[in-house]
Structure 1
Amino acid sequence: MRVTFATEPASPDRPNEDFIAVTPDAVVLLDGAGTPAGSESGCSHGVAWYARTLGSTLIASLTQSAGTLTEILAEGIKATTSLHDFTCDVNHPGSPSATVVMLRCTDGHLDYLVLADSVLVLDVIGTEDPMVITDDREGQVGKRYRTAMDALDSGTTDHTAALRTYVEAMRAHRNRDGGFWVTASDPLAAEQALTGTLPADQIRAAALLSDGASRLVDRFGLATWRQTLDILDQDGPAELIRRVRDAEHSDPSGKRWPRGKSLDDATAAYIRIT
């Protein structure tokens, strides 16, 4: 595999809550779920710490374990929880959480795992449209609660309050049947991930995108998934993020594209496989 990646925080004065790590045959991307100002999380460490700790655990395990990606994720959640369950309320509904995308290429096969709304795009040889794998359960649940937030201008006091209300309403559905699933403290969440295995020689390339990077397609509608792969292949992940930033800055109040965060942490990785 040949891997290029870029990551950029939404703001230089806040930690990047995304995480990306690479080995010669594996890639891991996490997107930590930020806690709005005024909301409790039960954790003194924060979302960036959680994403980095879990992500580091996962990439290390991928170099050492022959287990399935589901097993590796479950053990990683368990190990990360054990590092702060004696100081933090890990069962708090707002405890740090993250999306996960994992990709591993071994013995001629490509294994993947996707949990929550980060995106895996696979450029399958012989097909025009790429295979897009993402878990949209959070988005489906969120439609019930977004109306008030989306009607307000981003960056205003009212929008900030509405975002907090939205996030706290969503907590009641987190890691629940009929709701949506993310990594937090319960290793059983790993069983809810989307997983699969494909022959590596059928995949030309792959892209791993946090939702801050995928929004060029799935929120802004300014590119197709095929065009996104072309941008990554020809100009690299940093160019994709630059285009996202241009779109965000062109609509700072969210009038054209209503969204919880005017700017978001953005991470993109592009992997040439064959």
Structure 2
Amino acid sequence: MPDIAIAERAGVGTDGADRPTEDHVVVLDNAVLLLDGATSPHPDLPPGGWYAGLLAARLADGLRAEPDADLADVLAASIADVAAAHGLRPGHAPSSTVAMLRWQPGLVEALVLADSPVIAFGRFGGDALDVVSDDRLVTLRDDGKLQTGADVRRRRNAEDGFWVAEADPGAAAKAVRRTWPRDAVDVALLATDGVSIGVDEYHLFDWPEALRLAREGGPDAVLDAVRTAEKQDPDRVRWPRAKRHDDQAFVVVDFTACAQASGGIQGLP
């Protein structure tokens, strides 16, 4: 079992008021799941955090029952089951990102759906870093194609848009995936966009620096760096964003602890 360190922090709503986090982290014997419930586009829909919690629980049950099952198949079945159990319809349902990391004796697998990346450190054909990210949503935003709620609804789970866990199990087949040899991976990070924004938009640090911060101060140090920057931009002028602070969830999975019994991320090179 690798060493696993987790940091989570609730953000605020679009009105600036405190509210419970909509991020969910589940640790299994051979996997970590991280989901980020999206703010619901309609006031009559259940919150994204409610949906993310249900989907995380169903994914966990599916992987416990079939630890070797294909990750996309488990995700598709979980989406279908949650939708059927709660009467959710495609196009009119809450949604969630999904990041999954699973390790087995010979390999490590990652699956990413929407904007919660998995970052692996190790030896990958000459590269020491492999970022598994789904950039379809951010690309549409940057291109100005998600200006209104109608734009988001039209492009959600559509071929010319982005893919996210909602009520259409077909979205699972659109996930970004990666597989590495087990002995090639030293450390993996999983992050919701409340953390990855520090790399992708604020440019406070890159992923190796995020790992260094986590090694020296624990994963909360990475969350602190993002929150400190946001507090210095309270009116959201330097970094325009819907919320002053988004929910944050960050997971460090240290595989070197398995081989070295070194006590966790403090022992990383």
Q: Give the TM-score, by structure 1 length.
A: 0.85
Displacement, 1:146?
Answer: 7.6
Aligned to 1:98: 96
- Secondary structure of the 2:186 match is strand
- Output aligned runs, 1:180-195, within 5 Å: 180-195=162-177
Assess, with a 3 A threshold, how the Cα gap between structure 1 residues 94 and 8 changes in structure 2: closer, same or farther: farther
Aligned to 2:74: 72
Displacement, 1:56?
Answer: 1.1
Aligned to 1:223: 205
RMSD: 1.9
Aligned to 2:113: 115
- Output aligned runs, 1:26-37, within 5 Å: 26-35=31-40
Displacement, 1:202?
Answer: 0.5
Aligned to 1:138: 137
- Secondary structure of the 2:209 match is helix
The separation in 1 between residues aligned to 2:148 and 2:193, in whole angstroms, is 18
The separation in 1 between residues aligned to 2:158 and 2:11, in whole angstroms, is 29
Aligned match of 2:22 in 10, 17, 40? Answer: 17
The separation in 2 between residues aligned to 1:266 and 1:29, in whole angstroms, is 11
Per-residue deviation, residues 9-45 of structure 1 (Å, max 9, x unmatched): 103731211110101310000011113xxx52553x3
**5+ residue gaps in structure 2?**
257-269
Aligned to 2:218: 236
183-192 or 233-242: bigger deviation? 233-242
**5+ residue gaps in structure 1?**
148-164
Sequence identity percentage? 34
Assess, with a 3 A threshold, how the Cα gap between structure 1 residues 167 and 235 changes in structure 2: closer, same or farther: farther
The separation in 1 between residues aligned to 2:22 and 2:148, in whole angstroms, is 19
Structure 1 stretches of at least 4 aligned residues deviating more than 4 Å after TM superposition: 126-129
Displacement, 1:169?
Answer: 2.2
Q: Give the TM-score, by structure 2 length.
A: 0.87
- Secondary structure of the 2:148 match is helix
Aligned to 1:269: 251
Aligned to 1:2: 3
Aligned to 1:83: 85
Displacement, 1:90?
Answer: 2.2
**Kept in 2: contact 1:20–1:30 (CA 8 A):** yes
